[in-house]
A and B are shown apart, each in its own frame.
Chain A
Amino acid sequence: MQPIDKRVVQNCLDALSKKDVYIHLETTNGAYASHKDESFLNASTFIRNAKIQFSLGKVTGDGPFRIGLKLNEGWVYGEGLTHFEIDEMGRLLMAGLNAKGQLAIAFELSEIPFDS
């Protein structure tokens, strides 16, 4: 992955709009966060291979970046994205990595389902 190039990501979002796409969306602070600090509320979530269609997708901010996808009947939103890659399968893989290189958020879109 490399630091997000807003123009490349925006082109990719434009190309995926109005198509059926699979999304992997995840946020995490690590399974051990509340083991290390018991006062910390450990919250994380992921959804994988939900099929969505968005009419308009935008990448915003000056880095870390935000992504918003307008669905027919709702929204998808992600914040804290720093890195991206368009992999050999043409999938748009984005992640927010902290200073140690650890993933805090993943936001991925693909026209074919991700491996289960």
Chain B
Amino acid sequence: MQKERHILVVFPHPDDEAFGVSGTIASHVQNGTPVTYACLTLGEMGRNLGNPPFATRESLPKIRKKELMDSAKALGIQDLRMLGFRDKTVEFVDEKSLADLIYGMILELNPSLVISFYPGYSVHPDHDATGRAVVQAVERLTKPLRPKLYCVAFSNNCEKELGNPDVIVDVSSVTEQKLAAIRAHRTQTALFYDDLSKKLAKNDPDALKWLQYERFWTYKWND
């Protein structure tokens, strides 16, 4: 794994960093690279309130904020930024202002790697809107000055249209941290975690592969 100067991760929801990226984050942290995680919302509109319910629509953001902080701690992220947008509304905010905000962080932190969602291939409208704003922000730098931009994609058509992911990160040395990050987001991940644990206990090859390897697409610039 190449040593990075600073990594900026930008996602809209608490728990977006836990799936498919947490191992990469933990590996870089272990390698001594500072990581900033900018999380746009507090996941106010999450559907999982526990069973039996221990949250309400109104108490959920406070709970998810705490879970986000626990996940960041599990991964060793020292710079966690909560940007105060509202779940489900990211695509409706002024796109230029959002890109300005991200551009400001890029200038401040001078990251050599930025990680976000691949716009158009990330299913949730908040994911795609976040990815679009990140692309817009990075694009403002002239090509030689741009940090690398690794994108997460998981829409049903992503491999057909983007090809195979070109970055595969082996995170097998930090699977404990990855599992701890997933566990930290209890309100959202309890069902998923139980299911994953059962599969891992049976050495299910797909679950092991999912745990040990993370995949990204380097953003394809038009210029």
A residues lining the B interface (CB < 8 Å): 1, 24, 26, 28, 30-32, 35, 38, 46, 83, 85, 87, 91, 93, 95, 97, 100-104, 106, 108, 114-116
Contacts and interface: CB of A to CB of B under 8 A. Distances in A.
B124 A31 contact: yes
Contact of A85 (B52, B56, B88): B56
A108 B58 contact: yes
A96 B47 CA distance: 10
Contacts of B86: 116
Contacts, number: 61
Contact of A87 (B58, B125, B191): B58
B88 A101 contact: no
Interface string B119-152: 0000111100000000000000000000000000
A93 B58 contact: yes
Interface residues on B, range: 20 to 34
A35 B123 CA distance: 7
Contacts of A26: 45, 57
16 contacts: A1-B56, A31-B126, A32-B123, A46-B88, A93-B56, A93-B57, A95-B56, A100-B191, A101-B48, A101-B53, A102-B47, A102-B48, A103-B49, A103-B57, A108-B58, A115-B58
Given A95-B49, A104-B47, 18 more contacts: A1-B53, A28-B47, A31-B125, A35-B123, A35-B155, A46-B45, A83-B53, A87-B56, A91-B58, A93-B57, A97-B49, A100-B51, A102-B49, A103-B47, A103-B48, A103-B57, A108-B58, A114-B58
Interface of B: 45, 47-53, 56-59, 61, 86, 88, 123-126, 155-156, 191
A101 B125 contact: no
A101 B57 contact: no
Given A31-B124, A38-B156, A101 B58 contact: no
Nearest to B55: A1
Contacts of B50: 101
A95 B123 CA distance: 26
A46 to B, nearest CB: 7
* Top 6 A-B pairs, shortest CB-CB distance: A101-B51, A102-B47, A1-B53, A106-B57, A31-B124, A103-B47
